[in-house]
Structure 1
Amino acid sequence: MELFFYWFDHLGVAVFAISGTLLAFRKNMDGFGVIVLASVTAIGGGTLRDLILDLPVFWAYDPTYLYTIIVAALGTIVWLRFRDYIHQKTLLTADAFGLAFFTVMGAQKAHMAEFPAIICVVMGTMTACFGGMLRDVLARDIPMVLKGELYATTCLVGASVYVLIADFSPLLALLVGGVVTLLMRLGAIRWQWHLPVFQEHGESR
């Protein structure tokens, strides 16, 4: 089971590295910019999580995560050589998959360290959102977490689902929590789901 979690974590890193590489391509960055954007997207959230939880920073103790980033970025670069343009929806879809992976993996790491349920939910959300925030800030975009569509909320729901199931079946919790996060985020992209917005009295609706 631990081996499955390990490779599942690598898959999440690879997906977010691809997301960062796609944005770097849209911004016409050079090779260094690609690696920086891919790296902060892939490991930014997990690094902050480990520092807050006072756990060993995962990629510092296992450099194979860095190799995963490099391979994912290079593979994406090769694929992009045959594409003239990357549609925004492609970037959003890649980000949605990374969001789903990292939500449950962040919650799972906090749960395995025996932190309270609410901390597991917060860590899942932070792991999923923080790397993408860094990516967007470096690329001079408005972070997706600050845009109108459901974003962090999908992580909160997915991480909560994970916590509710984890004590019964960690594997099922990963799968269900990840799928819930992914479907909610893809639905938000497709149908522009938003949370209600508070407005001042008398403001036009």
Structure 2
Amino acid sequence: MLPEEFERIAVAAEREDVRMEFVHGRIGVKAVPDGDHHEIVRRVTQQCVQQRPDLWLYPGRGLRVETYRKGHAKPDGVLSPKGSFAGQGEWADPDRVVMVVEVTSYDTDTDRRDRDEKPRAYAETGIPVYLLVDRDSCEVLVFGEPEDGQYVNLVRRPFGKTVVLPEPVGISLDTEPFKAWVR
């Protein structure tokens, strides 16, 4: 499928309860986040803005990912310098992105999508840091140093610990509040 075909399908199928993505040549449907999911994104946003006022965490920003298949993803958050997406359409160039954030949802595809496909797609694209807030395992995973289409560095910390997000992010993320937003 061509990216243009996906874009037409995504617009036609737009609903309030799902978001569509096109990663590794497959269309994926992502459930709309629940309130706890939003609170985690809000908390990450707050810490990013406090520690790095030169950056902004854009929620649900569509990105063109993958060098090979020209995929499209809508991460829960995209950390970039302010103004990075001015003048761009729904699917933006990721060249100024320093980190993408995903918070797992309680759906059947989250394992394949958030833990397997997206780290590969983001690494292939060269995004420096991928932060996965995993509500199933109650931990954060920080993927860094994209090299040859994969992240060569992975740091895991349980909720409650502070995790340092590597450069070019350079933020210490307090994960204690995340404990309140899991089932």
Question: Does TM-score exceed 0.5, indicating one fold?
Answer: no
Structure with the bigger percentage of helix? 1
Highest relative contact order (Cα 8 Å, sep 6+), 1 or 2?
1
Rg comparison, structure with higher value? 1
Structure with the bigger percentage of strand? 2
